[in-house]
Amino acid sequence: MGATMVKRGLKKAWQITGAAISYTLFGLGALIVGLVFRLISVIPGIPAATRQTWIRNCIHAGCRGFILTLRAFGLIRYQFALNSMMQASGGHLVIANHPTLIDVVLLFAVRKNFCCIVKGELWHNMFTSAVVRQAGFIPNHSAELIPLAVEKLAAGENLIIFPEGTRTETSDIIRFKRGASNVAVASGAPIVPVLIKCNPGALKKGDKWYTIPDEGLCYTLTSGKRLHLNELIDTTKPKTLQYRELTRFLEHYYKDWMA
């Protein structure tokens, strides 16, 4: 019994150490990238599109490195079945449920060159503002959020949105807000749904970053078939009704998918 407790204690210490190292390296990497691109932003002659490509490649590499480090410490395992997402050309709205802290990191680790909507504090933080601005991301506090999202999609970018707006309160209750539906209706972009499962449940809203079960976490990410607006709702109805209908449809779609 005593030996078992010691072994479990050592394993937990290893997990916490591994998590601390992983998050620290990720944070330092983000800090360095932020400083570098703050300097690059004042160098004349570099097109904005070039800077955007550079920084999105850095984000992809950093996210990939982070999840590989977590896996090396035995903190996570993962399986990806994302054919429809990987094959999607430009101009797709990628939506996903949001059960854990690192969901967006997993998506960015899998595929380069996503656009996303970021929190206002990242937009104004001195260390992250250069990164999110030059990456062409959209601030969630902007009054022009919907037009900016439509513009990105029309330009052929793939945009990630979490329709819940924040991490799921409990793993079996999903409540979608209208933001993703507003963008979908305004843009007419095809939707690629992604289902994120984490077993056992951890890193939920309110959980500490180091609260990882002894056996680690197993992530499964699956993308469904592309959804086209005119197949989901009546697009002749007033926009406000379309927003509500699409939100209801997507919420039920995910609840059925998770069942």
Query: pLDDT grade, residue 2 (50/70/90)?
Result: low
Q: Judge whether residue 231 has pLDDT over 60.
A: yes
Cross-sheet strand order for the sheet of 93-96: 76-81, 217-223, 191-199, 93-96, 158-161, 114-118, 138-139
Spatial contact of 20 and 210, defined as CB atoms under 8 Å apart: yes
Query: pLDDT grade, residue 38 (50/70/90)?
Result: confident
List the domains of the chain with CATH numbers. Answer: 2-258 (3.40.1130)
pLDDT value for 104: 95
Q: Which of 183, 182, 162 is nearest to 174 (CA)?
A: 162
- As a whole number of angstroms, the distance between CA 34 and CA 129 comes to 8
Averaged pLDDT for residues 129-156: 93
pLDDT value for 172: 64
Least confident among 20-34, 59-73, 133-147, 211-225: 20-34
Q: Which of 200, 205, 111 is nearest to 164 (CA)?
A: 205
More confident residue, 126 or 119: 119
- As a whole number of angstroms, the distance between CA 55 and CA 73 comes to 27
Helix (H, G, I), strand (E, B) or coil at 95: strand
Q: Judge whether residue 171 has pLDDT over 70.
A: no
Spatial contact of 173 and 259, defined as CB atoms under 8 Å apart: no
Q: What percent of the chain has pLDDT over 90?
A: 60
Spatial contact of 258 and 174, defined as CB atoms under 8 Å apart: yes
Query: pLDDT grade, residue 44 (50/70/90)?
Result: confident
Query: pLDDT grade, residue 33 (50/70/90)?
Result: confident
pLDDT value for 233: 96
Q: Detail the DSSP E strand segments found in the chain.
A: 76-81, 93-96, 114-118, 138-139, 158-161, 191-199, 217-223
Burial class (CB in 10 A: 0-12, 13-18, 19+), 28: exposed
pLDDT value for 39: 81
Averaged pLDDT for residues 134-140: 93
Q: Judge whether residue 242 has pLDDT over 60.
A: yes
More confident residue, 13 or 183: 183
Q: Judge whether residue 31 has pLDDT over 90.
A: no
Average pLDDT score over the chain: 90
Q: Judge whether residue 226 has pLDDT over 60.
A: yes
Averaged pLDDT for residues 68-95: 91
pLDDT value for 149: 97
